[in-house]
């Protein structure tokens, strides 16, 4: 475990904790962006250049901005009065621990951990593009269709109701 | 050793003096220092040129008191910004207010790292250079939001919302027009893109701006770049007459200067990418001029584009919000998509006059049709002026 990894990991986890505990929603959104940047840094450290930059471009550039807009347009910027932990926090904790246990058990028993990994060469953007256009073209199309449907749905919801005027 | 490679050679010499283990570090520091030094001084020169140019367009003098012809004005401005009191509103979110200018300035300098300013003169030649450029560019939206929100001022929040809406809308045509070149070269590396534009056909260089899709792409790219860098006529986020200065209304002294710096460096960076993608990077425009050092060509093209920016700023009035959005989504986006298609057709047709005609038709036919239909719905009539009687 290198020093770089330790710094990035601490930054990512700390900002993720901040997302859940800070009072002000906008502060939470800003820490969430820091978490995304930390994840991107992890990808870059793994030599996955394309994934890392796409993570920044999509999550910091679009998703986080969308979250911020949603916060500002739907409620006031004043921090809420109620407690940080809701009344059902213990139940939530139990569910979270259960999910984590199942995931950890599955990952721990998977054969991937014991497989001897070839030291992989750096994957170029060209190779990713070729794979997306040949082998994974169907999933790509499905994702595109899903996003288009979501886009049209959002427009229909936001469209001004002509009859109800 | 030629004049062309003098800076590369100097860097190698200095790095060679250092002990072996700190050579990569010294090399990186030298590149970073060169980028910051050169582009920050270009910023200083541009501010005075811009004020002079705008003055000339508006029939006044512009700065002419500090130094001969006012050329020392940036130094005076810098000192003024440094010694001004740094005011922070009492209600402001102190921490976010403090780091917002830094979040703006750091990424725009990072973006310059992948722009090749001369032969062998690029700080990092990475496989996904263009992607890196757009990824770090995404952080500026964040900085604008942080500045606008943390000031606790209605106008700054309005300005930030306007700025983010504008940046997101124009980022789509910006990236789509850049994708044509990436498709054609088959690589996201800026160095490879410049290499692909080497050579001359007749007396014209093989730059992408001299192809139908490249020409349309270049125009779309520069319009979107103008909107991305919040320059007039796309300066709604600042809109002095409407929301007094937008998201940096509550910034004073050096923090304001940092915003100003970030905006100009962003403009240089995106113009630099435009040069790399469409104007042949550091290549000379004519074959008999190839002896002129490559970095002179790059900075010459950069200054020419900046002159264009200043000219447009002095000429066009500010857009309205609905005009801004209509232009982005109803004109720029369809044109960028059609241009993408035209680039694909260009790639698969055999070279010749037919290819030229087909692609030019594919680009300019929709342009004319789109422009006509958008104008027809507008019912534009002659403006009637009413005066107080």
On chain B, the residues whose CB falls within 8 A of the CB of A50 are: 128, 131
Q: How far apart are CA A152 and CA A155, in angstroms?
A: 5
Any domain includes B115: yes
DSSP structure class, residue A23 = S
CA distance B344 to B346: 5
Neighbour count for residue B298 (Cβ, 10 Å): 25
Q: Is residue B363 part of a domain?
A: yes
Interface of chain A toward chain B, CB-CB under 8 angstroms: 26-27, 30, 33, 49-50, 53-54, 56-57, 60-62, 64-65, 68-69, 72, 77, 122, 124-126
Shortest distance, CA A81 to any CA of chain B (angstroms) = 18
Residue B37 lies in a domain: no
- Calculate the CA B23 to chain-centre distance: 33
| Total domain count, chain B | 1
| β partners of residue B347 | none
Residue B380 lies inside a defined structural domain of this protein: no
ipTM field? 0.77
Nearest CA to B153 out of B241, B99, B90 is that of B90
Residue B210 lies in a domain: yes
Q: b/e for B130-145, b at 16 or more Cβ within 10 A?
A: bbbbbbbbbbbbbbbb
Residue-averaged pLDDT of chain B: 83
- Cis bond leading into B65, ω under 30°? no
- Chain A residue numbers with beta carbons less than 8 Å from the beta carbon of B94 are none
**CATH of region A1-80:** 1.20.120.1200
Q: Which residues of A touch B149 (CB under 8 A)?
A: 26, 68, 72, 77
In a domain, B230, yes or no: yes
Question: Which residues span the domain enclosing B151?
Answer: 83-374
Chain B positions in Cβ-Cβ contact with residue A56 (cut-off 8 Å): 135-136, 138-139
Three-state secondary-structure class, residue B204 = strand
Residue A165 has pLDDT above 50, yes or no: no
* Type and span of the H or E element at A2: none
* Cβ atoms of residues B47 and B20 within 8 Å: no
Interface of B with A (CB under 8 A): 96, 126-128, 131-132, 134-139, 141-142, 145-146, 149, 157, 161, 164, 168, 171, 186-188
- pLDDT of B330-345, one tens digit each? 888 888 988 888 888 8
What pLDDT is stored for residue A44 in this prediction?
A: 84
Given A27, A30, A49, which is nearest B127 (Cβ)? A49
The pLDDT of residue B14? 79
% of residues, chain A, pLDDT over 70: 83
Contact B221, B174 (CB under 8 A): yes
Among B247, B263, B261, smallest CA distance to B146 is for B247
Kindly report, residue by residue over B189-213, the tens digit of the pLDDT.
888 888 888 878 777 888 888 888 8
Name the least confident of B44-48, B61-65, B104-108, B129-133.
B61-65
- Candidate from B96, B128, B142 with C-beta closest to A125: B128
pLDDT (tens digit per residue) in A34-67: 899 899 888 888 878 888 888 888 888 888 888 8
CA distance A62 to chain B (A): 8
Contacts of residue B141, Cβ cutoff 8 Å, sequence gap at least 6: A61, A65, B163, B164, B167, B168
Read off the pLDDT of each residue in B230-251 and give the average, rounded to a whole number: 75
pTM of the model: 0.84
CA-nearest residue to B100 within chain A is A30
Of residues A57, A122, A124, nearest to B134 (C-beta)? A57
Task: Judge whether B153 lies within some domain.
Answer: yes
CA distance B75 to B232: 25
Closest residue to B186, CB basis, from A54, A61, A126: A126
């Amino acid at each position: 475990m290198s020093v770089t990894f330790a710094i990035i990991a601490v930054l990512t986890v700390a900002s993720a904790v901040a997302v859940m505990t800070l009072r002000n929603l906008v502060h939470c959104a800003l820490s969430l962006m820091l978490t995304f940047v930390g994840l991107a840094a992890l990808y870059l450290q793994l030599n996955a250049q394309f994934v890392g930059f796409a993570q920044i471009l999509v999550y910091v550039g679009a998703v986080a901005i969308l979250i911020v807009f949603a916060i500002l347009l739907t409620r006031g910027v004043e921090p809420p009065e109620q407690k940080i932990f809701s009344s059902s926090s213990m139940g939530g904790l139990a569910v979270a621990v259960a999910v984590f246990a199942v995931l950890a058990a599955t990952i721990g028993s998977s054969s991937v951990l014991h497989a001897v990994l070839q030291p992989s060469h750096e994957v170029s953007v060209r190779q990713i593009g070729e794979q997306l256009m040949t082998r994974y073209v169907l999933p790509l199309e499905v994702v595109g269709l899903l996003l288009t449907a979501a886009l049209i749905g959002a427009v229909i919801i936001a469209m001004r109701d002509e009859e109800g005027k | 050793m030629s004049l062309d490679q003098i800076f590369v050679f100097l860097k190698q010499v200095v790095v060679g003096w250092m002990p072996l283990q700190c050579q990569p570090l010294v090399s990186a520091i030298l590149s970073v220092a060169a980028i910051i030094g050169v582009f920050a001084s270009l910023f200083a020169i541009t501010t005075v040129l811009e004020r002079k140019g705008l003055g000339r367009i508006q029939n006044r003098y512009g700065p002419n008191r500090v130094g001969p012809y006012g050329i020392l004005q940036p130094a005076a401005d810098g000192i003024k910004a440094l010694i001004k009191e740094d005011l922070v509103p009492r209600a402001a979110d102190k921490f976010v207010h403090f780091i917002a200018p830094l979040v703006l300035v750091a990424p725009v300098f990072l973006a310059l790292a992948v722009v090749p300013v001369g032969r062998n003169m690029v700080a990092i030649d990475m496989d996904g250079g263009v992607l890196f450029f757009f990824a770090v560019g995404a952080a500026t939206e964040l900085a604008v939001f942080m500045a606008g929100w943390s000031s606790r001022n209605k106008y700054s929040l309005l300005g930030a919302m306007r700025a983010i809406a504008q940046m997101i809308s124009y980022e789509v045509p910006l990236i789509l027009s850049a994708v044509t070149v990436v498709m054609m070269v088959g690589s996201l590396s800026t160095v490879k893109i410049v290499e692909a534009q080497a050579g001359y056909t007749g007396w014209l260089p093989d730059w992408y701006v001299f192809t139908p899709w490249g020409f349309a792409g270049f125009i779309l790219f520069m319009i979107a770049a103008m909107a991305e860098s919040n320059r007039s006529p796309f300066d709604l986020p600042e809109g002095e007459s409407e929301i007094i200065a937008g998201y940096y209304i509550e910034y004073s002294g050096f923090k304001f200067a940092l915003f100003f710096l970030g905006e100009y460096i962003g403009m240089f960076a995106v113009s630099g990418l435009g040069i790399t993608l469409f104007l042949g990077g550091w290549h000379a425009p004519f074959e008999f001029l190839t002896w002129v050092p490559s970095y002179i060509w790059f900075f010459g093209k950069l200054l020419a584009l900046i002159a264009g920016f200043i000219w447009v700023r002095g000429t066009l009035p500010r857009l309205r919000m609905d005009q801004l959005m209509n232009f982005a989504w109803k004109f720029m986006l369809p044109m960028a998509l059609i241009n993408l298609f035209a680039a694909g057709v260009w790639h698969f047709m055999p070279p010749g006059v037919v290819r030229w005609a087909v692609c030019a038709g594919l680009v300019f036919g929709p342009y004319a049709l789109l422009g006509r239909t958008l104008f027809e719905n507008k019912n534009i009539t002659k403006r009637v002026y009413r005066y107080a009687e």
